[in-house]
Amino acid sequence: MKTISTLLLTAAIASISLPVNAYGIYGIGNKPCSLWTSERANTVMDNENINWILGFVTASARAGNRVYNLNAGQMINWIDKYCTLNPEWFVYDSAGALVGEMEKQLE
């Protein structure tokens, strides 16, 4: 009986499929833009959040995305505007949109 239970459990686990591009999103990236906006007044959290965005852009460039040469202040202003207009979207979405806009500037 134990063997049958083990086989059924193994089959159930094996049948779970993840999307081809499944990956984890950590830090502020998996939080809504409304949180980004509200934490802008908190210096400690704001610094961590800004560093997350800068790291995302750096990683995107390292992964082969062509990113337009903006300074950190310009990037954060862009994210501020995006998150103000789209509070229900995730910060990850705003960072991806920023990279997309930066790539368009190079076309």
Higher pLDDT: 107 or 54? It is 54
- Residue 12 has a CB neighbour count (10 Å cut-off) of 9
Looking up tokens 């505007």, which residue turns up? 81
- What is the pLDDT, as a whole number, of residue 4? 55
Residue 7 vs residue 102, higher pLDDT = 102
> What's the pLDDT tens digit per position in 8-19?
444 444 444 445
The pLDDT tens digits for 6-65 are 444 444 444 444 454 567 888 889 999 999 999 998 888 889 999 999 999 999 998 888
Report field, pTM of the whole predicted structure over 0.95: no
pLDDT score, position 13? 42
Buried/exposed 36-46: b ≥16 CB within 10 Å, e otherwise: beebbeeeeee
